[in-house]
Amino acid sequence: MKTLPLIGYGLLGLPLAMSALPVYVQIPAYYTTQLGLPLAGAGFVLFFARLIDTFQDPFLGQLIDRLREKMVAWFLFAGCLLAAAFYGLWQPPRLFLQSQNYLMIWLAAMLIIAYTAHSMLNIAYLAWGSRLSLAPSNGVERLEQTKQSEVQILHAAGWREGFGLVGVIAASLIPSFIFQSSASAISPQLSLYAISFALILLLSITALLKIAPRWIVGGSEKGVTFTAQLTNKNFRKLLPIYLLNSLSVSIPATLVLFFINDRIQAPSLAGYFLATYFFAGAIGLPIWMMISKRVGAINAWKMGMAMAILAFVGTAFTQSQDVVLFFIICGLSGLAVGADLALPPVILASIIPTNEAPSGYFGMWTLVGKLALACAGLALPFLSILGYQTGQTSASGALVVAYALLPCALKLGALALLQRYKQ
């Protein structure tokens, strides 16, 4: 498969990643530290908004399977919706800034709209990537065709996640730099950031529709019910592994800015820490792809999980101003995250029968990932119960448990289940 079509496919990963990172990393800190929303209130809004969004994904997947002939309108409508919600998250109207209750209502509404639009794009996008190479076999042996198909899907996933990491790095650095500006300059700069995002999103959708390889649909391909999906033994066993692993990533993502501010006590370096993590992920992504080609996606994912645990457990030993140590941890755990980004969708694509439409499976898949994010939002009120409040460095021990030890335990559980997984 030529490079330009793969770039056309992968480019949409950039704005999708940009709009995902602020929702579960930047937005909680922005609304609590900049706009004055209580920590517990922000956590509950994140949880319930994500919970509402979570359970719509399987239905969106089923709907996409039925509307495959109308994907141009689907992508354009969802793109406009996401651009509007992204702007609204960063620019609450003055009316809603006059009261904490109003601000919570606005945050909940914008989150739900952003989540819905993101799901509409992401589920269709993942399903598209899983069907780039499922053309008729033309006499090729089935095993060889399966190997070729997995390689093509892996290449597409690599471009998608590679552009996604670029988007994540941009979304890590830009708001951090904006918040270091004077108070009067923050709002106009956030407006420019949101408008720039909308333009990038429009360009990416255009590239997908005009340049990317076609979404190949088999003649006998049919949509499947939720029950039928769960009768797929491999899919059923893969879901709890993905849930535990997603939780191990989502909890630190929700708490990282609080950890940097109050444990490491280096808020001015927050953007650089995040950029180091995701830049290392971009470096690690092609490495994990090469490893996957040699040992298979499942074995490569196991290796990535083990590396992540060994690297991230070091956060439990950090103290105030351990800047160099935390940069090292960000780099090593970032190298490991490439496996989490690229390999699970490839494994899922390989277990979807060729005569079944993929969007429903990816709808259920994203449901599990979002359920993990919703549960991660509960870490904020949990920390509040333990006595932690933003800016109180004396209570940062609770952050160590929630940010460092709990995710390592969850990742270890996912690795244990994957060790027993037989495809």
400 close to 316: Cβ distance less than 8 angstroms: yes
The separation between CA 33 and the C-alpha centre of its own chain, rounded to angstroms, equals: 23
pLDDT for the residue numbered 15: 96
What angle in degrees, to the nearest 10, is found between the helix axes of 183-210 and 3-10?
140
Query: Does a structural domain hold residue 345?
Result: yes
SS3 for 321?
A: coil
Q: To 5 degrees, how large is the angle CA 272–CA 107–CA 14?
A: 45
Q: CA 294, CA 113: separation in Å to the nearest integer?
A: 42
Give the whole-angstrom CA distance, residue 383 versus residue 261.
Answer: 15
As a whole number of angstroms, the distance between CA 338 and CA 278 comes to 9
Tokens of 220: 């006998």
Q: Which of 69, 59, 76, 15 is closest to 366 using CA atoms?
A: 59
| Token pair recorded at residue 289 | 């792809």
Q: Please indicate, yes or no, if residue 82 is contained in any of the structural domains.
A: yes
C-alpha to C-alpha distance for 405 and 309, rounded to whole angstroms: 10
- Could you write out the DSSP letters of every residue in 215-273? ----TT-B---HHHHHT-HHHHHHHHHHHHHHHHHHHHHHHHHHHIIIII--GGGHHHH
List per-residue pLDDT tens for the chain, 423 residues long. 578 888 999 999 999 999 986 676 788 878 888 888 887 788 788 878 877 787 888 889 888 888 877 889 999 999 999 999 999 999 999 888 888 889 999 999 999 999 899 999 999 999 888 877 544 444 444 444 455 556 777 778 888 988 988 888 888 788 878 888 888 888 899 999 999 999 999 999 999 999 988 877 655 556 667 777 888 888 999 999 999 999 999 889 888 888 898 888 888 888 788 888 988 988 998 899 889 888 988 999 999 999 999 999 999 888 888 899 999 999 999 999 989 988 998 888 888 887 787 888 888 888 888 788 778 877 877 777 777 777 666 556 778 888 888 899 999 999 999 998 876
Give the CATH number for residue 321: 1.20.1250.20
Predicted local distance difference test score (pLDDT) of residue 6: 87
220, part of any domain: no
- Would you say 398 and 383 are in contact if contact means Cβ atoms under 8 Å apart? yes
Numbers of helices and strands, H then E, in the chain? 18, 0
Confidence at residue 110, expressed as pLDDT on a 0 to 100 scale? 93
In a domain, 185, yes or no: yes
Find the helix packing angle between 100-130 and 359-377, rounded to 10°: 150
Tell me if residue 356 falls in helix, strand or coil: strand
Q: With H, G, I as helix, E, B as strand and everything else as coil, classify residue 131.
A: coil
The closest of 241, 213, 35 to 130, measured between CA atoms, is 213
- The span from the CA of 292 to the CA of 279, in Å, is 20
Report if residue 329 sits inside a domain: yes
Q: Can you give the pLDDT at residue 37?
A: 85
pLDDT value at residue 142 = 45
Cα(265)–Cα(319) distance, integer angstroms: 9
How many domains would you assign to the chain? 1
Listing DSSP states for 54-69 in one string gives HTTHHHHHHHHHH-GG
pTM above 0.85, yes or no: no
Torsion angle, CA of 310/283/154/216, rounded to 10 degrees? 130
User: How far apart, in whole angstroms, are the C-alpha atoms of residue 394 and residue 390?
Assistant: 10
Place of tokens 């495809």: 423
Q: Can you give the residue range of the structural domain that contains 304?
A: 3-215+225-419
Long-range contacts of 195-202 (CB under 8 A, 24+ apart): 195/87, 197/15, 197/18, 197/19, 197/83, 197/86, 198/83, 198/86, 198/87, 200/14, 200/15, 200/18, 201/15, 201/19, 201/79, 201/82, 201/83, 202/79, 202/83
